[in-house]
Amino acid sequence: MAQRDRSRSTTIDGGIRWQSGAPIASVPITNSSESFTDFTDPGDCRPIAGASWKFLGGIINHPLDTAGTGFQSYVCDMLRSTVAGPHIGNPDGIPGDAAAATTAAARTNPSRPYVDVPVELLQMGDLFRLVQTRSNSLIKELGRENLRYQFGIAPVVDDVFKLFHFNEQVDRRIQEVERLKTQKGLRKTVTVGSGSLASDVLWTQQSNGIFLSTRARGNTVRTKRVHCRWTPTGDLSKMYTPAAMRRLIQRCVLGLTVDFSTVWQIVPWTWLIDWATNVGDYLKASRNMIPASLTTCVVMTHTRTEWSAPGLSGTKNTKPYSLEPIQIIRDGKTRTTVSPSVTAQFPFLSGNQLGILASLAVTRA
């Protein structure tokens, strides 16, 4: 592939600083920069990487004082490096690229279930046993009640409500299959993770000639989306009549099949394994009741960080000084081709997951 790199930047006058009464020559200061890498070969969904950085404010003014120190429209030293205002980190709940691709493939697969009826039927026996089980210990009983709700009652109630929208979901899936039959195939983009991180730090904007320092607050927002393209592995119009296709889609929506994905969901403790891996999503992505293959899967990540710090003013050596408020904005965008795969992941447990583990602990104690 032919790679193309582009970059540009803008500069402003860096202002004048006096030291020991002598002016230091002004030099241009970069106040914004952009870089972008893409590929020029034919087609779309090619990898890209883009980054930008800019700042506003941060100008110091201080008339020449008796110590021979002064500033005139001077860009503070902290902003004389594009390192200022970095991204804070990776927010919780955003999977890695391989896990994101697998999740998106499972969510866009034309054969995905809306209600996995076989799984619920096979788990009914466990539900009845949970409801019948009782304990004399209040703590154990509360733990069992939580497990009954999380693994028995809540999933069944959720699926019952979903069944009220069964015909609507079938009609939507038929529209997807009609798009699958076209030359472009089925194209869908889903958000697989989004989160933010905030930080409060002490900035030293200037230490040479005058000491200026304030608290700065930053916020990083990261969103990960995945674009998937599915194409049929055969001529669906010849393989199925409209009536047969509707029946097949009804089976897909209800999950009326027993495959590796079905077995995985009814095997005990696989829910805990899926916390640390994405085996469940990988099996769902591989379900193939409607003959289709995943031809394109690209992961797109957008990271935006904004930093801000208030201005300062006061008097030094009988001369007034001021520092303008500072705002720094940093953007990053990437697009990468990724194949779904089984990966290990160790996200933080949510409050609900911690409650489940606590309930298991007290019932097994």
Question: How many domains does the chain divide into?
Answer: 1
* Cβ-Cβ contacts under 8 Å for 34 (sequence gap 6 or more): 7, 8, 9, 50, 51, 52
Q: How far is 137 from 79, CA to CA, in rounded Å?
A: 63
What's the chain's Rg over C-alpha atoms?
29
The total of other beta-carbon atoms located within 10 Å of residue 93's CB is: 14
Q: How far is 311 from 120, CA to CA, in rounded Å?
A: 60
Task: Give how far Cα 295 sits from Cα of 184, 186, 227, 298, 337, Å.
Answer: 11, 10, 11, 10, 11
With beta carbons less than 8 A apart as the criterion, state whether 37 and 50 touch: yes
With beta carbons less than 8 A apart as the criterion, state whether 285 and 340 touch: yes
The tokens for 151 are 């693994």
Q: How far is 29 from 325, CA to CA, in rounded Å?
A: 17
Q: How far is 298 from 318, CA to CA, in rounded Å?
A: 61
Per-residue DSSP letter, 25: P
| Number of Cα atoms under 13 Å in the Cβ half of residue 204 | 6
With beta carbons less than 8 A apart as the criterion, state whether 252 and 166 touch: no
Q: How far is 157 from 177, CA to CA, in rounded Å?
A: 29
Q: How far is 3 from 50, CA to CA, in rounded Å?
A: 13
* Among 262, 287, 293, 342, CA closest to 95: 342
Residues of the domain holding 141: 3-364
Note the pLDDT tens digit of each residue in 295-332.
999 999 999 999 999 999 999 988 999 999 999 999 99
Report the pLDDT value the prediction gives residue 349, as an integer from 0 to 100: 46
* Cβ-Cβ contacts under 8 Å for 329 (sequence gap 6 or more): 52, 53, 54, 55, 85, 304, 305, 306, 307
Report the pLDDT value the prediction gives residue 348, as an integer from 0 to 100: 46
Report the pLDDT value the prediction gives residue 135, as an integer from 0 to 100: 45
How high is the mean pLDDT in each 10-residue block of the chain (365 residues)?
A: 87 93 89 91 87 96 92 94 86 87 90 68 52 49 53 52 65 88 92 94 94 96 95 86 86 72 59 60 77 92 97 93 97 93 52 47 48
DSSP string, 320-350: EEEE--EEEEEEEEEEEE------B--PPPP
Which alpha helices (H) appear in 209-316, and where do they start and end?
A: 236-239, 242-254, 260-266, 270-276, 279-286
| Neighbouring-strand partners of residue 365 | none
- pTM of the complete model: 0.76
* Among 287, 285, 295, CA closest to 248: 287
Report the pLDDT value the prediction gives residue 234, as an integer from 0 to 100: 85
| Neighbouring-strand partners of residue 329 | 54, 306
Reduced to 3 states (helix: H, G, I; strand: E, B; else coil), residue 214 is strand
Round to the nearest angstrom and report the end-to-end CA distance of the chain: 59
